[in-house]
Structure 1
Amino acid sequence: MTSRLTRTVAATLATAALLTFPLSAFGAVSQPTLSEAAVSSVHARRGSVISAVPVAQLTAAQLNAMSADFPGTPPAAYGVTAYRLIYRTIDHDGRPTTASGIVVLPDGRRGALTVAEYLHGTNPTKTAAASVDDTSTDRLVTALFAGQGLVGVAPDYLGLGLGPGKPPYLDTKTETTSSGDLLLAARTFAAKHGIALKRDVLVTGFSQGGRASMAFGRALSRGEVGSFRLGAIQAVAGPYDLLGSELPAVFTGGVLPPTATFYLGYLITAWNRTVGLYDDPREAFQAPYAATVEGLFDGTHSDEDIVAALPDAPQKLFTPAFIKQLQHPTGKLLRAVRAADQVCRDWTPRVPVHLYSGTKDTDVVAANADACAASLRAHGADATVHSMGPVDHTGTAFAAYPGIIRAFSRWA
């Protein structure tokens, strides 16, 4: 493993300390406690708030200073306070569980406000989630929306932050339900601060969160999240087309081999728990990785540690037979991939869709955005692809978010 790879993967996951600031910059921070995390026995309806703890407070000036890596971000109009919420939701099989996330309120604002919900990129590590990591770029992006006068909402997804169990990955069901149930919890929580959440919700996300944004937007458009509806959607560098774009790029060089190894290791071990792709890890993974790969993605290991424990190419991680499955999916894997790809294919957004890509993205190839837009247009939607030019995966986000924040600020 090279130092360049470590930086590339850490940036790709959008969970490492890309923007590191002294703890004092965030004001008084409350760390998670055992009593706060141990809530699995609590019974309440979906979207119920179990706990709410302030985790960050920033002035408008501090937000402006911290947005330096997002040049062109409009100046903040408000200071903000971020809260970690633990709330009731459901798992992949519909069973009650809990999840964590953040709600960021603009200081001094009351009355009816619009929500900007931000969905984060790939993260294998519980402690790297925005609700618990004080250096989280995801927390900062959510706070930048609140600094415009919006209510920022960002789920950790299941199994991350203070959520119990192992994290699912690219799991449309739980990405959607955890996002929707946090929005319901945010409505209850905001009301206690004199804020009513407007019906129209602005949705955005990066990488895994770009794809999850399409799924969540679909749920909002179908009336599946209480009285909320989709107001706008802008998704960045998402793997919307696994079958036609992303998986082929793994084997044609479009996705860097070490990065593909990480993503596929996470995906296949996570999908095995929900779809059932193998009975024994040795059916999918080569020795010695078959004995260790599932444990690497249990939520307790950092992305750097995982990369260090994996080989540098998918062909070294997976068995020859499973490599053939990834190249030409059949059976359960094919059905799971096709189902995942429906986020751009089985609905017609009634609001314009803006997708962002980078021509040097070797994590999520730009063809994903083109394929998603083509599918949406075929169903009569207004879909636009914005190329951020010769930038990599994280560079796409850094280039796209100033404009997205500016566009969403018009709703404040």
Structure 2
Amino acid sequence: MKKNILASWLLLLWLFISTGCQHEEAKAVAPTPEKDYLVSAKLVTELPQAILQAMADNRGFPGIKNNIKNDVQVYQVTYLTTYQGKDIQASGLMCVPKNVTGAMPILSGQHGTTFEQQAAPTNFPATFSGFELFASAGYLTVIPDYIGYGASKDIFHPYYNQQYSASAVIDLIKAAQSYAKKNQLQLNEQLFLVGYSEGGYVTLAAQKEIETNPKHNLTVTASASGAGGYDLVDMLAEVKSGKPYPNPSYLAFILQAFNSANAWNRPLTELFKEPYATEMPKLFNGVASAGAINRALPKEPEKLFNAEFFANLKKEDGELIFKKALVDNSIVTNWVPQSPTKIYQGTADAVVFYQNSKNAYDTFIAAGAKNLEFIPIQGGTHGSSIEPMLMSVIPWFQSLKQTPKE
């Protein structure tokens, strides 16, 4: 009897151990599903080569016409990205060249600062930027709206936030890869990045994240950025000087964006003087233009900012959390570009000062950058420098682009 009881217990023990081991083994080998960043892709229009050439002429890019070879399908893309630790849906434009033989590279084009929701790239064709033309030269081209526009318009745009700038680009690239896989489009491993104004900052933010975080499994082939404001600490020095700044909308935008993205949630009266503090939600409602905001705000920092806040900015031990955020979100902090990179800057730019880009370049070179070039655009203003920049970027990218195999 004792032997039978013992045998029964041994059998039960063996069954428990064996089934437990099998359960643990099954858990260990279960594959983790790869995240699909693509939510949807809606065809907006199809543009023949002739129309694209006319658009290049009409929008001030006549020198690009010779590179316009393919008809292009334009899609509104909704994709997953993250904001404050949660998945959200963001949007962007995707331009797919037709009748391309062989594998295509991906190009991501980053647009400049906009205060108006209607200026988001997904409102194409009214928001034609010029980056769309790269698709007709054989690049699968994506142009993110950025968080805070389009599908994510209910979020205050995290202006000059390095993390969210980078993720808006990288996650759209991954969504484009998903679309290509699902639709039997061949992609090679090349990735080109280009952006101007805020887009210049966003371009280098994405490049920095890609180069320092191998989990993305991306490699930047070449990167071109213009007038991006890469050193926010340097920009703060200009503000602290008290000199009039012709575009106070940018200063108010950055300060509110940092307050929102970092969840500081400080009352606007702590940051701005009245009546401007009360007016900020109306001015930054996604409808008012840059010009309208600039006309409503004083150009002198001491008249715009709360007196105590502005005084603390000037103190070495004042507003330390804000100053740390400026350091953390400066592209020049703890990074040296590894991929071939060109930085463009107009010498007469009154929005993003020439010296800011030059100082960023000098910082990178001093830190050991090898594949970096600084290209001044003589006499170029913030508005006029994008065309000569693109006229330089296109042949450079084309010289690096792999020739599709038949």
If the TM-score is normalised by the length of the shorter chain, which range does it land in? 0.7 to 0.9
Q: Which residue matches 2:155?
A: 165
Equivalent position amino acid for 1:378 in 2: A
The CA deviation string for residues 238-283 of structure 1, in whole angstroms up to 9 with x for no partner, is: 1011212x233346688x6231x10011111111113356632111
1:79 equivalent in alignment to 2:68:
no
Instruction: From 359, 371, 374, give the equivalent of 1:385.
Output: 374
Q: Is the contact made by 1:206 and 1:238 (CA closer than 8 Å) also made in structure 2? A: yes
Q: Is the contact made by 1:153 and 1:183 (CA closer than 8 Å) also made in structure 2? A: yes
- Partner of 2:342, secondary structure, is strand
**CA-CA distance at 1:206 after TM superposition:** 0.7
Query: Hey, what's the Cα distance between the residues in 1 that align with 2:265 and 2:178?
Result: 42
Equivalent position amino acid for 1:87 in 2: Y
| TM-score normalized with structure 2 length | 0.82
Q: Which residue matches 2:6?
A: none
Q: Which residue matches 1:22?
A: none
Q: Is the contact made by 1:106 and 1:151 (CA closer than 8 Å) also made in structure 2? A: yes
1:194 equivalent in alignment to 2:181:
no
Cα distance change, pair 314–145 in 1 and its aligned pair in 2 (3 A): same
- 5 Å-filtered alignment, 1:258-297, equals 258-259=246-247, 261-275=248-262, 279-297=266-284
**CA-CA distance at 1:124 after TM superposition:** 2.2
- 5 Å-filtered alignment, 1:8-407, equals 47-68=36-57, 69-75=60-66, 76-91=68-83, 93-138=84-129, 141-163=130-152, 164-224=154-214, 226-244=216-234, 246-250=235-239, 257-259=245-247, 261-275=248-262, 279-327=266-314, 330-341=319-330, 343-382=331-370, 383-407=372-396
| TM-score normalized with structure 1 length | 0.81
Equivalent position amino acid for 2:343 in 1: L
Cα distance change, pair 309–218 in 1 and its aligned pair in 2 (3 A): same
Q: Which residue matches 1:24?
A: none
Cα distance change, pair 98–407 in 1 and its aligned pair in 2 (3 A): same
Equivalent position amino acid for 1:379 in 2: A
Equivalent position amino acid for 1:57 in 2: E
Equivalent position amino acid for 1:353 in 2: T
**CA-CA distance at 1:326 after TM superposition:** 4.5
**CA-CA distance at 1:372 after TM superposition:** 1.5
Q: Is the contact made by 2:231 and 2:360 (CA closer than 8 Å) also made in structure 1? A: yes
Q: Is the contact made by 1:110 and 1:195 (CA closer than 8 Å) also made in structure 2? A: no
Cα distance change, pair 242–112 in 1 and its aligned pair in 2 (3 A): same
Q: Is the contact made by 2:221 and 2:340 (CA closer than 8 Å) also made in structure 1? A: no
Equivalent position amino acid for 1:396 in 2: S
Q: Which runs of 5+ in 1 are unaligned?
A: 1-43
Larger Rg over CA atoms: 2
**CA-CA distance at 1:332 after TM superposition:** 1.0
Query: Hey, what's the Cα distance between the residues in 1 that align with 2:209 and 2:109?
Result: 15
Q: Is the contact made by 1:269 and 1:297 (CA closer than 8 Å) also made in structure 2? A: no
Cα distance change, pair 65–306 in 1 and its aligned pair in 2 (3 A): same
Q: Is the contact made by 1:46 and 1:89 (CA closer than 8 Å) also made in structure 2? A: no
Query: Hey, what's the Cα distance between the residues in 2 that align with 1:45 and 1:171?
Result: 27
The CA deviation string for residues 304-362 of structure 1, in whole angstroms up to 9 with x for no partner, is: 44334333443332122223345556411110110111x23422332222100111100
Q: Over the residues paired in the alignment, what is the CA RMSD in angstroms?
A: 2.3
Length, aligned pairs only = 362
Identify which of structures 1 and 2 has the higher relative contact order when contacts are C-alpha pairs closer than 8 Å and 6+ apart.
1
Matched-pair identity in %: 28
Q: Is the contact made by 1:46 and 1:90 (CA closer than 8 Å) also made in structure 2? A: no
Query: Hey, what's the Cα distance between the residues in 1 that align with 2:86 and 2:35?
Result: 11
**CA-CA distance at 1:47 after TM superposition:** 5.0
The CA deviation string for residues 390-410 of structure 1, in whole angstroms up to 9 with x for no partner, is: 010121112101111222223
Query: Hey, what's the Cα distance between the residues in 2 that align with 1:365 and 1:380?
Result: 24
- Partner of 2:141, secondary structure, is strand
Cα distance change, pair 251–279 in 1 and its aligned pair in 2 (3 A): closer
Query: Hey, what's the Cα distance between the residues in 2 that align with 1:66 and 1:269?
Result: 36
- Partner of 1:258, secondary structure, is coil
**CA-CA distance at 1:300 after TM superposition:** 4.3
Query: Hey, what's the Cα distance between the residues in 1 that align with 2:267 and 2:98?
Result: 52
- Partner of 1:351, secondary structure, is coil
Q: Is the contact made by 1:159 and 1:299 (CA closer than 8 Å) also made in structure 2? A: no
